[in-house]
Amino acid sequence: MSVGLVYDPIYLGHDTGDHIENGRRLERILEVLGNSGIRQQLVGIAPDPAPLEDLLLVHSAQHVARVDRYSAEGGGWLDGDTVTSPESYEAAIYAVGGTAKAVDKVIRGEIESAFALVRPPGHHATRTEAMGFCLFNNVAIAAKLALQKHGLERVLIVDFDVHHGNGTQDIFYDEPRVLYLSTHQWPLYPGTGRVEDTGVAGGRGYTVNIPLPPWCGDREYLLSFEKIVVPVARRYRPQIILASAGYDAHWADNISSMQVTVGGYARIAAILKQLAAELCQGRLVLALEGGYHLQALAHSVKATIEVLMGLPAGVDDPLGSPPHGSSAVDVTALMQRIKAVHDL
């Protein structure tokens, strides 16, 4: 079962110093994949830089020029969370290009699935703004290319980062050819992603938000996938599934209050893989978003890739058990509310 891995050292050139989103994230993932022997079994995908016309499918020319200018002038802060360095623009266009290349290879049938190990991340980047550590929206641009370059008519984006992907939602809010579905902690940055946010005009009903309360863990996440994600996907029948793969809902990651384990992420990956096999010839591409506890991130990505490869992924978390793991959160009313809004 061929699984691709997008990576290039150019992603480390986005030098954020001691910022929580830094190159050590990718280095630790590569170390764990290499030590386990998994990396050697993956099909390497060398990214190409995204041309300007691809960036403009999603972003304004002013936004692209601003990121380029900041990098060319030595870097700086685009907002209170998002920093650039001299090589950030180049890293960002290779992150876009790498994600798009993975989608291209999956659609062409050269590989069955892929994981894009890219940075900077993308799902907070809107048409006109960089924010939340994100410069360009990698997954959104890849989805646009799937529609325009490959002629697909239905793309499903599943975003399981702990933060809502406000940029992706904004970009496709009126677009029925892309169904955006997000599980995220609520309330939490950036404060978007309410159940009632379902799209506008022709895109109404094609945005599905699952705002989970703090302290949710594997049980609540898997219930969300069982009750909402699976039936939504089956009804939509996508031709490819893209995932904004954020691992910051892990219990050891102090950026959130969630309690997901490495085993929980493996189960999420298994559900996505099964849906892809059932609905779209196995076409599945995941692109890295958040995840800031280095060990939790690395082992969660490893477990995800093991699932893609058809290998048995362990259900035990190498970091141990979540401290709040025994206190289940009641999300029954939330699930019923979302099902009512989306007529499930």
Residue-level pLDDT at 316: 80
- DSSP collapsed to 3 states, 225-243: HHHHHHHHHHHHCCCEEEE
Q: Of all helices (H) and strands (E), which one includes residue 210?
A: strand 207-212
Residue-level pLDDT at 295: 98
Residue-level pLDDT at 326: 54
Residue-level pLDDT at 78: 97
Residue-level pLDDT at 325: 61
Residue-level pLDDT at 328: 83
Residue-level pLDDT at 323: 82
Dihedral sign of CA atoms 24, 29, 32, 38 in order: negative
Domains and CATH numbers, the chain: 3-341 (3.40.800.20)
Helix (H, G, I), strand (E, B) or coil at 74: coil
Residues designated as active site: 124
Q: Rounded CA gap, 49 and 61, in Å?
A: 17
Query: Which segments of the chain have a pLDDT < 70?
Result: 1, 314, 325-327
Contact (Cβ atoms closer than 8 angstroms) between residue 50 and residue 93: yes
pLDDT digits (tens, 9 = 90+) for 278-302: 999 999 999 999 999 999 999 999 9
pLDDT digits (tens, 9 = 90+) for 221-257: 999 999 999 999 999 999 999 999 999 999 999 999 9
Q: Of all helices (H) and strands (E), which one includes residue 59?
A: none
Bond from prior residue into 318 cis (ω within 30 degrees of 0):
no
